[in-house]
Structure 1
Amino acid sequence: MIKLERGGKPDYLTDAKIQHLKNRYATTKTSVWSRKSITKPLMNTCFGKCAYCEKLVNGNGSYMEVDHYRYKDLHEDLIVEWSNLIPSCKQCNTKKGKHDVDINPIVNPYDDNPNEHFIYHCLRIIGITPKGEMSVELFGYNLRDVDARKSRLIIHEKIDEKLSDGLDLYRDYQLSGDPKKLLKSRNSLSGILSACQINSEYSAITSTLLLLNPQFIDLMNKIKNEGVWDDVMKNYFDMALSSSFPVKRDEYSLVKSL
């Protein structure tokens, strides 16, 4: 989960339109919020990802559902209230179900900074506040059947593999002196960093796993020492730092000096 900015409500949601949609829902109980004039700008606020787990919900095998942060059956007056609409994948929306956030609050990435509610440790997301703890349990971030957890393990393996490839290319450069090998090593690292950007799927966990990998520190220092670390990579790196989960102090020693 990353911090999101909602911005102003769409022009479509005028006071008159909101009242019309509320009246329509009261009589038909149909999903009046599932309209492109609402869902499209809502998708734009989350870079096409689920706000709760960062799974892509761009229609390529997974579709966005509109979650009502305050459950619609308890708050019918908020069914098309812009501040109450959360873009969600089906899995997270199903798990949230009829949960009452007024009784047991959860992290709302539009209102809360997730970095203040979660830390990362040993491939697990851990809640460190009541909101964080409730969110971890509600969405099952560490359960085997959850897409985000399964993807976490795959991301961990891919990062390690890509960093190993980058280091191998750098060793080839040292042996051959071929500048193309150095550039390929640099581009390998840049490619991994690009996957940490806020518009990328699972950017928070990807950033965290990359920064915690000792091979990343090694390869980054080599690239910097060769003078081919550029502004684009620096910006990617800064974004990875801001997107990553806080980690326990013993692990953080790897990245605290970067």
Structure 2
Amino acid sequence: MIKLNRTPCPAYLSDDKVKQLTEEFINTGASVWNKDKIKEALLKLSNYKCAYCETELQIEDSYMEVEHFHPKSLYKSEVVCWDNLLPSCKKCNGNKGNHDTGKEPIINPSKDEPKEHLCVEAARLYPKSNSDMGRLTIDALNLNDKERLIDSRFNLCNLVKETLECLYHGSVDYKARNEIKGLLSACSAGKAFSATTSNVLHNDPYYSDIKQKLKDNNLWDEELEELDINTKKIALDPR
């Protein structure tokens, strides 16, 4: 999970429209949130990933659902409140269900900084020692589902380590520069499981060595520096 910057409310959700849709939901129970204009805005908010588990959305078995951080069954007046909406995969939305986030808060990635509550080891998420919110988030969303999440995280993290090992033992040239750029891009916020892959990247000694060699050979440029900074920002701390 990474921090999401809440984008401006889409023009579709004007004050009058919000009032109309909220009244319609309260009176009829209609799926007033299931609108393409809302979904499109939410997908852009999260880089086309589930806001919770970071799986890519709009692919087989992982299509997007509009998730109500405060459940619509308990907080009906927030059914189309922009600040209450997140893009979610079907699994996370189903796991969270009607969990009362007002009484038992979990991480809201558009408001909270996940790094303050979560850490990672061997592709598993753990709560930081002082974070009940982190523990509850992992449990409520089942963020350590082995087949769906842990195995997928592990495979990507293993690919990061294999790539770094090859680069470490190879030549320091423009090809290596382009390959490290590709690796940094693969660990960036727009990619699946970026909080975990960026953790592996920035905590691997091979990466530090490759980075220094590129600098020594005047191959480390502003583009790489920006990618380095941005991926480090989203990397979960090691357990």
Q: TM-score range by the shorter chain?
A: over 0.9
Q: Does 1:185 align with 2:176?
A: yes
Task: String of CA shifts for 1:89-146, please: whole Å, max 9, x gaps.
Answer: 111111101111122110001111111111223432111211111001112222313x
1:120 aligns with 120
1:237 maps to what in 2?
228
Select the residue among 192, 201, 207 that pairs with 2:192: 201
| Aligned mates of 1:226, 1:68 — CA distance in 2 | 50
**In structure 2, C-alpha distance between the alignment counterparts of 1:162 and 1:121, rounded to whole Å:** 20
Matched with 2:67 is 67
Instruction: Measure how far apart 1:65 and its partner are.
Output: 0.4
Q: Tell me if structure 1 keeps the 8 A contact 2:123–2:196.
A: no
Q: How does 1:1-258 map to 2 (within 5 A)?
A: 1-57=1-57, 59-61=58-60, 62-128=62-128, 129-145=131-147, 147-170=148-171, 182-248=173-239
Give the deviation of 1:28 after TM superposition: 3.3
Do the aligned residues in 1 keep the contact of 2:187 with 2:231 (CA within 8 Å)?
yes
Which structure ranks higher in relative contact order (CA pairs < 8 Å, sequence separation ≥ 6)? 2
* CA RMSD of superposed structures (Å): 1.6
Cα deviation code 1:58-111 (max 9, x no counterpart): x23231101111111111111111111111011111110111112211000111
Residue 176 of structure 1 corresponds to which residue in structure 2? Answer: none
> How far off is 1:169 after superposition?
2.8
* Maintained 8 Å contact 1:67/1:87: yes
Distance in 2, Cα, partners of 1:184 & 1:168: 13
State the identity %. Answer: 33
Report the CA distance between 1:189 and its aligned residue. 1.2
5+ residue gaps, structure 2: none
Secondary structure of 1:110 counterpart: coil
Determine which structure has more spread, i.e. the larger CA radius of gyration.
1
Equivalences, count: 236
1:199 to partner: Cα distance: 1.7
Letter of the 1:36 partner, please give it.
Answer: D
- 3-state SS of paired residue (1:169): coil
| SS class of match (1:54) | coil
d(CA) in 1 for partners of 2:180, 2:13 = 44
SS of the counterpart of 2:238? coil
> What TM-score does the superposition give when structure 1 sets the normalisation length?
0.86
Residue type matched to 1:132 in 2?
G
CA contact (8 A) 2:49 2:87 kept: yes
Equivalent AA in structure 1 for residue 46 of structure 2? C
After superposition, the C-alpha distances for 1:196-221 in whole angstroms (9 at most, x for unaligned) are 22222222111101112222222222
Letter in 2 for 1:226: N
- The DSSP-based 3-state class of the residue aligned with 1:197 is coil
8 Å contact kept, 1:4–1:45: yes
Q: Quick check: 2:42–2:86 contact (8 Å CA) kept in 1?
A: yes
